[in-house]
């Protein structure tokens, strides 16, 4: 029982020297990758670079204790950093103590929300964000993030809260480009792009084994950091206008307290909720993908608690909101991490870096960190999904494009909210007009298919209607109109069969509509019959007077209903005047 809420008690029982060795090796590799990433993402969030390191220490320890994924690496990520900058920037100016306080408070609020949702087992709420909405939001965020970092590559001052403003600000400032900064930013960006695709094959050509070459290639950002620091020192670029990271405080994370100002909390709780949901969805997606490769499993509700604890720990250690990142988690997985202890060891490595290595980063160009961010986030931009969604589902395409456009034009918060809103609106519209079909029997079988798609057998006096949706208040009136319309077009009909094989639920409004249909048909001398009613639905119908008042019968199968009513009516069975197409139902 206790290990359910403390997963460390489960995997800790089988921990041994072999597992320890693998976890330590993975931790070393992830630490090397995480140091420049953490600095870069703090820059993206508008925070001092050291805050990124702070957010990569205690959160990893707490997730290792409470998380269920064996290989998920928690820490700052690009999208959450952008959302943090947007939320904190709305209440304070970057570079001020109030801005840092807002970021810390966001982490606390997000952590509490995640933990409460986990305790309430409410992980299903993340399903409000459909894949098209998430995909559109991440694509738009990637474009926004990459655009926001161009000013550091150019060495100019520019801003903007949305994409048009950013582009306009960059266009106005491009004449002030610092060519020394550009001479660093462009080569580093190209180098990091090459590292992602070309470093591993090049290293393998030199004779390194595949895994060693892959792990070595992951250290590409560290190489870029080291080379650009040497370039700054060697050529005196600090005196030529190249912006540097500057002094980074040494030492372990300080104890910090989130704000208790209710007015600030009132302004931040909505952004914190969005950060929580986006972070949770991203983290769980990564964790499930990696767990499936090793036939492991994660517990989403416990993941909420683990991520909540990680964010609370980040807040109290001077960090900002964190979640599981795909890139570092994939590296952790490929490096052979076997338990969450690898994350705790990574935290130790980051802690040592804050104690001993930060003075070495004084001459690190901001352009190098900007290049790291640009290369990382452009991999998130997916230009194939819109075309695929257009071919598959126009409604999902609309939600996807709406999310992208509004995120680019109005910001990340409105982008997510609008995407969810459009998705829900389209879902409600579809649910209010469910698919229904007139069906007939496929010759020499007991199967019934749509007369518009197949050559099937029908009976003039019997109308079979298959409803492919639950009957709820959203579509109950629509069904009444549909049935009566079909009857009006077929004056010979004496029996109507509602084929209920796809109906999983009938709520009170749906029941009321069935009663209305039953009375309307009875008044015109037409019998209403039901077939293939599912057990739970039938149980609820039996608790009402509907079955007693039904002027027809309830049949176990559509074939039995069709055959019995055909015999009773004495009608000939006729093939419907349609051709079979594509085997669709």
Least confidently predicted of 251-260, 450-459, 549-558, 574-583: 574-583
Whether 224 and 38 have beta carbons less than 8 Å apart is answered as no
The answer, yes or no, to whether residue 123 has pLDDT greater than 90, is: no
CATH of the domain at 525: 3.30.750.24
pLDDT tens across 467-484, in order?
A: 998 999 988 889 999 999
Residue 581 has pLDDT above 50, yes or no: no
**Rounded Cα distance, 272 and 321, in Å:** 9
Query: Could you say which of 401, 425, 454 is where a domain stops?
Result: 401
Quote the number of domains for the chain.
Answer: 2
In a domain, 81, yes or no: yes
473-478, long-range: CB < 8 A, 24+ apart: 473/507, 473/508, 473/509, 473/510, 474/428, 474/431, 474/432, 475/431, 475/432, 475/433, 475/434, 475/510, 476/509, 476/510, 476/512, 476/513, 477/513, 478/432, 478/433, 478/434
pLDDT for 569 equals: 62
- Domain boundary (340, 375, 401) is at 401
Same domain, 96 and 150: yes
Confidence category of residue 572, pLDDT binned at 50, 70, 90: low
Mark which of 376, 401, 426 sits at the end of a domain: 401
Residue 126 predicted with pLDDT over 80: no
Domain shared by 395 and 539, yes or no: no
Query: Looking at the domain assignment, is residue 414 inside a domain?
Result: no
Q: Is residue 449 one of the residues assigned to a domain?
A: yes
154-200 pLDDT, tens digit per residue, is 999 988 878 999 999 999 999 999 999 999 999 999 999 999 888 88
Among 45-59, 145-159, 403-417, the minimum mean pLDDT is found in 403-417
Question: Do 540 and 396 sit in the same domain of this protein?
Answer: no
Same domain (yes/no): 71, 120: yes
Res 121: pLDDT: 87
Do 391 and 481 lie in one domain? The reply is no
Residues 47 and 184 in one domain: yes
Per-residue pLDDT averaged across 202-220, rounded?
84
Token pair 């015999």 is found at: 567
Would you state the pLDDT for residue 576?
Answer: 53
Same domain, 45 and 127: yes
CB 536 within 8 A of CB 560: no
Residue 460 above 60 pLDDT? yes
Based on the domain organization, do 395 and 472 belong to the same domain?
no
* Residue bearing tokens 């208040």: 473
Residues 184 and 313 in one domain: yes
pLDDT in the model for residue 110: 96
Residue 259 bridge partners (DSSP): none
pLDDT in the model for residue 200:
86
> In sequence order, what are the residues at sequence separation of 6 or more whose Cβ sits closer than 8 angstroms to the Cβ of residue 577?
none
Element (H, E) at 281: helix 262-293
Per the domain annotation, does 151 fall within a domain? Answer: yes
Is the distance from CB of 182 to CB of 154 less than 8 angstroms? yes
CB contact set of 445 (below 8 Å; sequence gap of 6+): none
Percentage above 70 pLDDT, the chain: 96
* Shared-domain flag, residues 396 and 442: no
DSSP 575: E
Q: Does 216 share its domain with 295?
A: yes
For residue 127, being part of any structural domain is answered with: yes
Half-sphere exposure of 117 (CA within 13 A, CB side): 23
For residue 233, pLDDT over 90 is answered with yes
CA distance 136 to 133: 5
pLDDT confidence of residue 573: 54
What is the span of the domain harbouring residue 455?
436-575
Residue 196 and residue 148 share a domain? yes
- Of the chain, the percentage scoring pLDDT greater than 90 comes to 59
Q: Is 406 part of any domain?
A: no
Is 160 part of any domain? yes
Residue 101 lies in a domain: yes
């Amino acid at each position: 029982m206790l290990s359910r809420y403390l997963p460390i008690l489960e995997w800790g029982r089988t921990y041994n020297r072999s597992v320890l060795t693998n976890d330590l090796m993975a931790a070393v590799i992830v630490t090397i990758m995480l140091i420049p990433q953490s600095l870069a993402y703090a820059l993206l969030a508008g925070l001092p670079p050291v805050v990124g390191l702070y957010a990569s220490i205690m959160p990893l320890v707490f997730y290792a204790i409470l998380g269920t994924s064996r290989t998920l690496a928690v820490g700052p990520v690009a999208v959450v950093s952008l959302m943090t900058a947007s939320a904190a920037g709305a209440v304070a100016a970057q570079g001020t103590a109030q801005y840092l306080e807002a970021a810390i408070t966001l982490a606390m609020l997000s952590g509490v929300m995640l933990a409460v949702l986990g305790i309430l087992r409410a992980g299903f709420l993340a399903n409000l964000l459909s894949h098209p909405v998430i995909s559109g939001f991440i694509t738009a965020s990637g474009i926004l993030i990459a655009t926001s970092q161009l000013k550091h590559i150019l060495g100019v001052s520019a801003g903007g809260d949305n994409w048009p403003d950013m582009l306009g600000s960059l266009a106005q400032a491009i004449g002030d480009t610092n060519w020394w900064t550009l001479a660093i930013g462009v080569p580093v960006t190209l180098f990091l792009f090459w590292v992602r695709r070309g470093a591993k094959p090049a290293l393998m050509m030199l004779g390194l084994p595949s895994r060693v070459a892959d792990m070595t290639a992951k250290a590409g950002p560290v190489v870029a950091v080291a080379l650009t620091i040497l370039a700054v020192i060697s050529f005196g670029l600090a005196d030529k206008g190249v912006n540097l990271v500057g002094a980074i405080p040494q030492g372990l994370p300080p104890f910090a307290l989130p704000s208790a100002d209710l007015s600030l909390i009132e302004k931040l709780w909505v952004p914190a909720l969005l950060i929580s949901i986006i972070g949770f969805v991203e983290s769980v997606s990564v964790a499930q993908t990696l767990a499936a490769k090793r036939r492991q499993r994660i517990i989403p509700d416990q993941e909420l608690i683990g991520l909540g604890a990680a964010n609370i720990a980040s807040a109290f250690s001077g960090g900002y909101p964190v979640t599981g990142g795909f890139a570092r988690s994939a590296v952790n997985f490929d490096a052979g991490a076997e338990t969450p202890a690898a994350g705790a060891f990574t935290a130790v490595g980051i802690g040592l870096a804050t104690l001993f290595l930060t003075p070495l980063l004084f001459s690190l160009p901001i352009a190098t960190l900007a290049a790291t961010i640009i290369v990382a986030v452009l991999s998130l931009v997916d230009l194939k999904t819109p075309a695929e969604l257009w071919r598959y589902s126009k409604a999902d395409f609309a939600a996807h494009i709406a999310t992208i456009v509004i995120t680019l034009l109005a910001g990340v918060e409105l982008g997510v909210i609008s995407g969810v809103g459009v998705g829900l609106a389209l879902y409600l519209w579809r649910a209010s007009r469910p698919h229904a079909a007139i069906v007939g029997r496929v010759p020499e079988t007991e199967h019934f298919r749509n007369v518009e798609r197949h050559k099937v057998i029908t009976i003039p006096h019997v109308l079979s209607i298959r409803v492919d949706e639950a009957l709820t208040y959203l579509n109950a009136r629509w069904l009444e109109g549909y049935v009566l319309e079909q009857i009006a077009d077929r004056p010979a009909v004496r029996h109507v069969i509602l084929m209920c094989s796809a109906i999983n639920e009938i709520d009170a409004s749906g029941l009321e509509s069935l009663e209305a249909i039953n009375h309307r048909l009875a008044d015109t001398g037409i019998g209403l019959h039901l077939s293939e009613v599912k057990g739970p639905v039938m149980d609820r119908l039996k608790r009402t007077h509907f079955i007693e008042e039904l002027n027809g019968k309830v049949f176990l199968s559509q074939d039995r209903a069709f055959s019995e009513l055909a015999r009773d009516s004495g009608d000939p069975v006729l093939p419907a005047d349609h051709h079979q197409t594509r085997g669709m139902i």
